[in-house]
Amino acid sequence: MSNSVTITTKDYDKWFKTVGNPDWTNAVIYYALRSGGKGIQLKARELFKSKMGESATHHSPWVNWGQGGELFEGIQISGHKDAKEVSVSIMGDYRLKWFEAGTEVRYKGARNRNSTVRDRLKSSGAHSTGAIKPLYFFKQAVENSTLEQTIMQSVQNAFDKIEHQ
């Protein structure tokens, strides 16, 4: 599973071709894609919090480009209006990828590439630091998202708002 998902208009072009004015169509399309991405982001954050408990709110100095924040805030959304695409990624805090995919048992101690696990354990100060079980919170959020419905609802709401102006 990838660490991010990108939503583009490629799959939804047939819906957007029926719209008339291209000036506000781009804004509506971007708004709709961003709403769909926001749905995935919120679902991933909710799943991460439910699986991690209080650890999900641990302060992380790597979130928000070094300004800090809570660990679950590393699930971020970014967009590009001209390219008409939105991306949701768990790489806002690099540690989230370990919780998503899990890790093997790791050992702290000897760093010799040719050494075996037994050799590492025999060396002074070597000990197991454990393994992280995969949570698959992001994968489940993407699979369980109602992306198409969210995008269509956002487009409908935007067109209704434009008609009433």
Domain limits of the chain?
4-163
pTM: 0.74
Separation between Cα atoms, residue 157 and residue 165, nearest integer Å: 13
Task: Record the tokens describing residue 18, joined without a space.
Answer: 């029926």
pLDDT for res 114: 60
Separation between Cα atoms, residue 153 and residue 12, nearest integer Å: 13
Residue 13, H or E segment: helix 13-16
Q: What is the pLDDT along the chain (165 residues), one digit of tens a residue?
A: 578 778 777 766 666 666 556 666 777 788 888 888 899 999 999 999 998 888 888 787 767 666 777 888 888 888 887 777 888 988 888 888 888 988 888 777 655 556 666 665 666 556 677 888 899 999 999 888 888 888 888 878 877 777 776
